[in-house]
A and B are shown apart, each in its own frame.
Chain A
Amino acid sequence: METQRIVTPPVDAPQLEIHAPPAPVESQKKPKTRGRTIVVTSGKGGVGKTTTTANLGVALAARGARVVMIDADVGLRNLDLVLGLESRVRYHVLDVLEGRVSLADALVRDKRVPTLYLLAAAQDREKDDVATDAMVGLVEQLRDEFDYVLIDSPAGIEMGFKNAIAGADEAIVVCTPEVAAVRDVDRVVGLLGNRINAQLVVNRIRPALVRKGKMLSVEDVNAILRLPLLGVLGDAADVIVSTNRGEPVALDEASATGAAYRAIAARIAGEDVAAPQAAEPDGFMDKLGSFFGGRR
């Protein structure tokens, strides 16, 4: 049966380009220290994992870091779409893991930001096709070549999620200000366990609704999650447009959301950027918990 191909022409359709494979990765300058491996996850679908992975990738690379993004959503890949690179994807993670192509051939370099690379997911395969230790091995290999390995996790807590977190030391947990999202994210934080350091990004906050009492505040969200807050993002319409067009907002100097992503990237890189919008969680247990050394 013919599968439908979805082709969404961007507003300014680029000329079809010949895809020249990037120079062999080995010959490029290696970072002095091993790269950081960060999974972007949430449990709940649709909260902005893929958009966040794409924009943080762009923002980190724009600062000069070598960044590779892995789409771990086998069968439902979207990272390439959001980045606008879907027409340039030739090979995917399983092609590499199953030995059909080299890693260098599968990596798609983003022409807008030269140190940014994408390893796409397979669209016609299943998540069970990926073995967890193969995934870990791939991430280990990549961290030798890149400053940041960002892994875009699928929704849920099934095999796809487990594979996505297997290779990561750190996590960025994305949550929207909704009770259902907080519950799912809490579950995921529990599953991340002691090994992975997690930080929180709260997405799609609408301060006006929060003031009217019709939306949870960042404090409400973190009263349950109790994670270090990495950033807070609003709910601007330009994000939808940008994901539809494949132009990450982090590239757009005029976008407030883009600026927020760039600030988060700076924080990830260790800069002391102005404090996130919300104050620290100040529930009783948080004070008590820190005295008991209870882990968050």
Chain B
Amino acid sequence: MIRAKAGGLEIVFSGRPFADAYDDLRGRLAASPDFYRGASATVVLAEVPSADELHLIASTLDGAGIEWDGAYGLDNGAAPLPKREPPRDAVLSDSARSLVADFEGARKDLAGRRQRGERRSPPALVAVPPRTVSAPPAEPAPEVLYHRGTLRGGQSLANVGHIVVVGDVNPGAELVAGGDIVVFGALRGVAHAGAQGDRSARVYALVLEPTQLRIATTIAAGAERTGAPVPEEAFLAETGDRITIAPAGHPPHLKSTAEQS
């Protein structure tokens, strides 16, 4: 259950009781104490772990010199997530539904204005606001913008590619990505994935409680949460006009620009 992946190690805890997986990990690390030293690892869990479980994992990895990069939830079928639900439409309240209708109106307005050749069509619905995304020509924009630490209200991150945050995104903070957005923490601010029009973009978070989600030109107000949080992912439904939220398998495979057609 220690797998080598492109970005580092993957340590899988899901699929069996925590105690067993933990003992197994300890055993492996004890057998080859320095083999993994200096490596970085992501940990795959079935559900949000308890404080004690986290502490055990952390101290064990620390002792073996392994840097812990991230964690995500995985349901491999053998141990279903405790609250498995079929993928459901984002719970759009009445106000959010009419919000979509409002934006529909805005899009028609936009289309109409473009047709009439008006210059001042607001780019915000289609492209990322110019203030942040275009990288200086000297350096290529990073494919993935990593940020460690909590993003506070009023702070924002933008990237033409993907964004990965290891930390919380507080209400009032904003993420704008041309690609996907992955938050190893609580996403409570505004996240805009596929900001340049990529409708396949996804938003993933360990705790998905955003103020607002945007994928390409579709916008949804954050829904009320019930129950304990599980890692979740948001994406555009087939029909294209709704943002769907489902308990997450794993974080999206972040497509590199080389892979995109």
Interface residues of A (CB under 8 A from B): 183-184, 186-187, 189-191, 224, 226, 282-285, 287-289, 291-296
Contact = CB atoms under 8 A, between A and B. Distances in A.
Interface stretch (B30-38, B165-173, B217-225): B165-173
B155 interface: yes
B64 interface: no
Given A287-B51, A289-B185, A292-B148, A186 B168 contact: no
B154 A285 contact: no
A284 B154 contact: no
Nearest to A179: B171
B48 A284 contact: yes
Interface in B150-185: 150-155, 166-168, 170-172, 184-185
Contact of A294 (B149, B152, B153, B171): B149
Contacts of A190: 151-155
Lowest 4 A-B CB distances belong to which pairs?
A: A190-B152, A186-B153, A187-B154, A294-B149
A284 B68 contact: no
For chain B, give the interface size range.
Answer: 20 to 34
B167 A289 contact: yes
Contacts of B184: 288
Tell me if A's interface is mostly helix, strand, loop or mixed: helix
B128 interface: no
B171 A183 contact: yes
B186 interface: yes
Nearest to B55: A287
Given A186-B170, A284-B186, A294-B166, A226 B71 contact: no
Interface string B214-248: 00000000000000010000000000000000000
Contacts of A295: 148-150
A292 B167 contact: yes
B58 interface: yes
